[in-house]
């Protein structure tokens, strides 16, 4: 825990610590060069696969803790998100509108199948338990799920293979997010799109809540994006960037965006 990494986005070692945002032994810092906020001392992939830190083990506890932290403003923000979700419709229609149809990869898929027929579903999942369940369902629909870290397994797919990629509540978990975006650029066809959903570090709720913001989850959330730093990250990987929830981004606890691979 005593070894602190440089900025994962730009490599700068000039980092301002934000000790008020994380309990010991965790250290959150902000890059002085590119403004990215991130966990400076994350655990490795093997630790996150272990039973005590695996997401399927921690989910119920984390959900209960987040609910306790919700005040009036937080409940209002959640209600706004619920209204927006009802307006946009179910996940299948939502993803189809943003990504189209075809071979779809869900990175950090857990045991969910977000896009059914006519899509062919593929996945990457760190949890061995969730990956096994997702693989059975995806193989029945013509695809499959790979177990392991997204930044590593993404390179096991062919180039220009996918029509769309989903990274919903995933990229904030990925220590090597530049590598997974590099691999996604390689695996995505020209003109293909990635849907990204991550916690919004610049949201009003986060500023009001301080260290009690439900978006802080140690140690499995390792990067805290703002719209500006997410845009910078996506563009560094070669994608064009489009903010999906621009109209309510100041209030929304999450950023929703598209990373678009330029057409050939």
> What pLDDT, in 10s, does the model give residues 146-201?
999 999 999 999 999 999 999 999 999 999 999 999 999 999 999 999 999 999 99
The per-residue pLDDT for 204 is: 93
> What pLDDT, in 10s, does the model give residues 94-138?
999 999 999 999 999 998 888 888 999 999 999 999 999 999 999
Q: Does domain 24-260 have CATH number 3.40.50.150?
A: yes
Whether 8 and 177 have beta carbons less than 8 Å apart is answered as yes
User: Worst-scoring range by mean pLDDT, 20-34, 57-71, 88-102?
Assistant: 57-71
Mean pLDDT, residues 47-60: 52
Domain extent listing, the chain: 24-260
Instruction: From residue 23, give the alpha-carbon distance in Å to each of 11, 27, 198, 224.
Output: 25, 8, 22, 16
Its pTM stands at 0.85
Burial of 160 (0-12, 13-18, 19+ CB in 10 A): middle
Q: Say if residue 233's pLDDT is above 60.
A: yes
Whether 260 and 189 have beta carbons less than 8 Å apart is answered as no
The per-residue pLDDT for 115 is: 86
User: What is the Cα–Cα distance from 20 to 6, expressed in whole angstroms?
Assistant: 20
Whether 258 and 193 have beta carbons less than 8 Å apart is answered as yes
């Amino acid at each position: 825990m005593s070894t602190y990494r440089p900025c994962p986005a730009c490599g700068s070692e000039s980092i301002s610590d934000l000790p008020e945002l994380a309990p010991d032994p965790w250290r959150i810092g902000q890059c002085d060069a590119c403004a990215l906020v991130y966990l400076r001392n994350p655990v490795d992939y093997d630790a996150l696969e272990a039973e005590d830190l695996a997401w399927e083990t921690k989910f119920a506890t984390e959900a209960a803790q987040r609910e306790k932290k919700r005040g009036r403003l937080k409940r209002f923000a959640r209600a706004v998100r619920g209204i927006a979700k009802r307006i946009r419709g179910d996940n299948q229609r939502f993803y189809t509108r943003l990504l189209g149809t075809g071979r779809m990869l869900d990175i950090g898929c857990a045991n969910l199948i977000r896009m059914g027929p006519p899509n062919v579903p593929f996945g990457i999942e760190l949890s061995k338990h969730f990956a096994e369940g997702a693989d059975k369902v995806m193989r029945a629909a013509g695809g499959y799920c790979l177990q392991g870290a997204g930044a590593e397994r993404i390179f096991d797919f062919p180039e220009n293979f996918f029509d769309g990629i989903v990274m919903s509540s995933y990229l904030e978990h990925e220590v090597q997010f530049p590598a997974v975006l590099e691999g996604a650029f390689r695996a995505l066809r020209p003109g293909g799109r990635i849907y990204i959903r991550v916690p919004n570090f610049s949201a009003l709720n986060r500023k009001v809540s301080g260290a009690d913001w439900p978006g802080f989850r140690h140690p499995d959330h390792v990067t805290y994006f703002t719209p500006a730093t997410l845009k910078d990250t996506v563009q560094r990987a070669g994608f064009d960037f489009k903010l999906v929830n621009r109209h309510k981004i100041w209030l929304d606890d999450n950023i929703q965006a598209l990373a678009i691979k330029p057409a050939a």
